[in-house]
Amino acid sequence: MSVGTNQRIDGARLWDSLMAMARIGGTSGGGVRRLALSEEDRRGRDVFAAHCAAAGLTVRVDAMGNMFARRPGRDPARLPVLFGSHLDSQPSGGKFDGALGVIAGLEVMRTIQDLGIVTEAPLELVNWTDEEGSRFGRSLMGSAVWAGLLEQAEVEMFADADGQTVGQSLDAIGYRGPEPARVFPADAYFELHIEQGPILEKAETQIGIVTGAQAMVFYEAVTRGQDSHAGTTPPSARRDALVCAARIIDLVDRMMRARGEDGRGTVGRLHVIPNSHNVIPGEVRFSVEFRHPSDTEMARLEAQFPREAGFIARDCGVALEITPLLRIAAQPFDPDCIDLVRASAARLGFSAREIVSGAGHDAVSVARHIPTAMIFVPCKDGLSHNEAESILPEQAEAGCQVLLDAVIARANRPAG
Amino acid sequence: MSVGTNQRIDGARLWDSLMAMARIGGTSGGGVRRLALSEEDRRGRDVFAAHCAAAGLTVRVDAMGNMFARRPGRDPARLPVLFGSHLDSQPSGGKFDGALGVIAGLEVMRTIQDLGIVTEAPLELVNWTDEEGSRFGRSLMGSAVWAGLLEQAEVEMFADADGQTVGQSLDAIGYRGPEPARVFPADAYFELHIEQGPILEKAETQIGIVTGAQAMVFYEAVTRGQDSHAGTTPPSARRDALVCAARIIDLVDRMMRARGEDGRGTVGRLHVIPNSHNVIPGEVRFSVEFRHPSDTEMARLEAQFPREAGFIARDCGVALEITPLLRIAAQPFDPDCIDLVRASAARLGFSAREIVSGAGHDAVSVARHIPTAMIFVPCKDGLSHNEAESILPEQAEAGCQVLLDAVIARANRPAG
């Protein structure tokens, strides 16, 4: 069964539902604060569940609070096609990060329901718990437990700034479901998301065909010199931890730029001790991260960075400690699923280009076990994790239409 | 009347008095926390006043809490010779910063009393209020008001972190004296202080003949780029405020080193916004300061810094704002007073060398109106503003002996 060209999602309904969801935890600055497993998250989930029920879907919740809204297929032997994203937000987040993938998924289900479409395989719309990691410190939490990358028992002990744990929060909002949070057999997973970067917008491209997620390495770095009086300590006697850190920040930037537009290298967090204008800093603690689509290039970065940073520290007479906190290998997506996204965009007449996801997404957890692809749409100025995050209704509609098209095509492909 | 070679201070008494003062506000880490106008400061002042009275001195307190302990001279027409320092400390300060100058001054008075020395000119030992500026944010506070560089009415409104003002604190500890805090005619001012830097110790020199204080300029700098996602923003789209700040920190260090051992250039305080490991920093605020003994060289630094920092910011695509907060011209000390310190060190057989004060001191305020010189003694590893600040008893004794010698010589010089 091919996809009919008259199978159109309802762009106005999609937009209204996005705006309605954005009011739950909506901020005065036009953004959203709907922290994972908070009261706002509970309200968002309740509304989502009600809409799913109204669209004839059956909602299951697993022990991590991950929600699966199922529509049966014609062939009960077929594995389900999954699609979705997350409803939790950053503390000062936007309306579309995560919510677009879930609400567009709902629109896909509603369209299929309205048009009386019967798919061969069952469909399951997913809302993953705590993608952002802003509250409990671990991003992709629900999907990582589901994919077996984290243990639920361990995750339940993670606490927020007020000491409330994940386990307590699941119980408090009533979203600890009866079934274990564990990967189950599925045919595919699709996730629509805003790009959260400027590439598609700059290229004036409507659809990003996401071919995978880049490799990442996160470090904690500490430079230790000697704090001393800024007025009395001559150049020869200085062991300035901040001058050393500054040269390492410059190194990170140069290493990134040497890799061209695929390179990512960032120092985002930095603390100076004692941080007084007339004291030469004795200690600086800072984050360093590199990302790259290629594991090979990442291995080169990981070899080069501690070596060259060590040379700088020696020149500065400063001790340097670099601790790798997290390594994530590049995660290529499934060629067949990628092809479906490409074909759908082409059939619908959207401009499209391949892109590697710069951010982490639940799709990266899922792709460990299930054939996966993602669809990106541009966002204004590439801005995300920000109240000013915005997209146009037609951009949401385009992404949702590609999602519908790809999901139906996958669910109806000849049984293998 | 010449200085007798048998006029020796009592090194053991000096050391005991230093250690007794260090117990007032003494910390478990071996340092001192005796913040200006605090209860600890009050106790220190009370003990100091009692010792002055016991040594036959008459103590006056002015409206800023500056204390003057007077011993009459033989000639009532002569102007007094002043000497002293400050008893307040940094929050995590040492035993000697300030206290050495006051307690050595007390030892000078006791020695003169014990030996029945009569000086031509009167002598006045001073304890200046709030040299450190740690509590109310303005260093050299008492001496600056006395020297007419600050208005008492303005200073009284300065508040500490708890909202308590200078005026309230003066009243609370009972050290708002009846006479106005205003410069009065005096013949000279001498201040003994630890170097707070490594130069004398490295040169294995016992006495620093301080020829003046260096010029300083303090800036507040802000770099403003665009905060964006560290994973999704390619190199060409980055406007990283921290990379720009890092290159300016490197510039400050290079500009300092280009001036040789006289150069000082420091970024001591820096804040990153939003300061999250996976967000490219959108804004960085930091302090920049330069110091140099020469006003001419300082003028060059002040011309060069905004220009070259501006080039860096333009290269980074980042907006830069540089605000000068404070400019202090170089303050040369009085040649005759300097010669007295030099002659005293030579007569006493101490190794000595000229040095420019890297730090600010009350002597710099006083020198605006009164012929002034300072005496430095080395401190261990050049460490100060630190609980580990330390000197040896013989170093305290040497400095105190030079102070005695210079004060007596000045007070007894032929009237002219």
Domain CATH for A144: 3.40.630.10
Residue of chain B nearest A227, judged by CA positions:
B383
The per-residue pLDDT of chain B, averaged, comes to 96
pLDDT higher than 60, residue A1: no
Residue A118 in domain: yes
Q: Is A10 exposed, middle or buried (0-12, 13-18, 19+ CB in 10 A)?
A: middle
pLDDT higher than 80, residue A10: yes
* Mean pLDDT computed over A288-301: 97
A254 and A180 in one domain? no
Beta bridge partners of B290: B217, B265
Residue B267 in domain: yes
B370 and B260 in one domain? no
- Residue A304, chain B, CB below 8 Å: the answer is no
Task: Give the closest-approach CA distance of B246 to chain A in angstroms.
Answer: 4
- Residue B383, chain A, CB below 8 Å: the answer is yes
**A227/B281 touch (CB, cutoff 8 Å), yes or no:** no
The per-residue pLDDT of chain A, averaged, comes to 96
User: Mind listing the pLDDT tens digit for each residue in B11-25?
Assistant: 999 999 999 999 999
Residues A298/A330, Cβ–Cβ less than 8 Å: yes
User: Mind listing the pLDDT tens digit for each residue in B75-125?
Assistant: 989 999 999 999 999 998 999 999 999 999 999 999 999 999 999 999 999
Number of domains in chain A: 2
* Mean pLDDT computed over A265-273: 96
Probe site for chain A from B96, B229, B357, B381 (most A CB atoms < 10 A): B229
The CATH number covering residue B263 comes to: 3.30.70.360
A231 and A194 in one domain? no
* Distance, CA of A268 to CA of B240 (rounded, Å): 9
Residue of chain A nearest B219, judged by CA positions:
A277
User: Mind listing the pLDDT tens digit for each residue in B115-124?
Assistant: 999 999 999 9
Minimum-distance CB partner of A383 among B197, B228, B236: B228
* Distance, CA of B90 to CA of A352 (rounded, Å): 63
Instruction: Compute CA distances B200 → A282, A408, B211, B357, B389, whole Å.
Output: 22, 81, 14, 12, 15
B54 and B201 in one domain? yes
At which of A298, A328, A358 does a domain end? A328
Hey, what are B23's tokens?
A: 């117990």
- Residue B328, chain A, CB below 8 Å: the answer is no
User: Mind listing the pLDDT tens digit for each residue in A343-400?
Assistant: 999 999 999 999 999 988 999 999 999 999 999 999 999 988 889 999 999 999 999 9
- Residue A31, chain B, CB below 8 Å: the answer is no
Q: Would you say how long chain B is, in residues?
A: 416
Query: Amino acid letter at B122?
Result: P
The pLDDT-based confidence of A2 (bands split at 50, 70, 90) is: very low
At which of B294, B328, B362 does a domain end? B328
Minimum-distance CB partner of B250 among A243, A272, A384: A243
* Mean pLDDT computed over A239-245: 98
Residue A4 in domain: no
Minimum-distance CB partner of B235 among A234, A250, A257: A257
- Residue B5, chain A, CB below 8 Å: the answer is no
- Residue A223, chain B, CB below 8 Å: the answer is no
pLDDT higher than 90, residue A137: no
User: B390-405 in b/e burial notation, b at 16+ Cβ within 10 A?
Assistant: bbeeebbbbbbbbbbb
A186 and A54 in one domain? yes
pLDDT higher than 90, residue B43: yes
Supply angle C-alpha A188, A190, A196, rounded to 5: 150
Provide the pairing of β-strand A207-213 with A331-332.
Answer: antiparallel
Selected residues 161-200 of chain B with any CB under 8 Å from a CB in chain A? 195-199
Range of the domain at B311: 215-328
Token pair 């230093």: residue? B18
* Distance, CA of A204 to CA of A392 (rounded, Å): 13
B279 and B350 in one domain? no
- Residue A140, chain B, CB below 8 Å: the answer is no
B237 and B161 in one domain? no
User: Beta-carbon neighbour count of residue B174 at 10 Å?
Assistant: 12
User: What is the pLDDT, as a whole number, of residue B416?
Assistant: 60
A140 and A50 in one domain? yes
B136 and B257 in one domain? no
- Residue B140, chain A, CB below 8 Å: the answer is no
Selected residues 58-117 of chain B with any CB under 8 Å from a CB in chain A? none
Q: Is A212 exposed, middle or buried (0-12, 13-18, 19+ CB in 10 A)?
A: buried
Percent of chain B with pLDDT over 70: 99
User: B117-154 in b/e burial notation, b at 16+ Cβ within 10 A?
Assistant: bebbbbbbbbbbbbbbbbbbebbbbbbbbbbeebebee
A241 and A119 in one domain? no
User: Is residue B327 classed as helix, strand or coil in its secondary structure?
Assistant: strand
Task: Give the closest-approach CA distance of A267 to chain B in angstroms.
Answer: 7
Residue B5 in domain: no
- Residue A386, chain B, CB below 8 Å: the answer is yes
User: What is the pLDDT, as a whole number, of residue B6?
Assistant: 72
A162 and A50 in one domain? yes
User: What is the pLDDT, as a whole number, of residue B326?
Assistant: 85
- Residue A317, chain B, CB below 8 Å: the answer is no
Residue A124 in domain: yes
At which of B285, B300, B328 does a domain end? B328
DSSP-derived letter for residue B380 is G
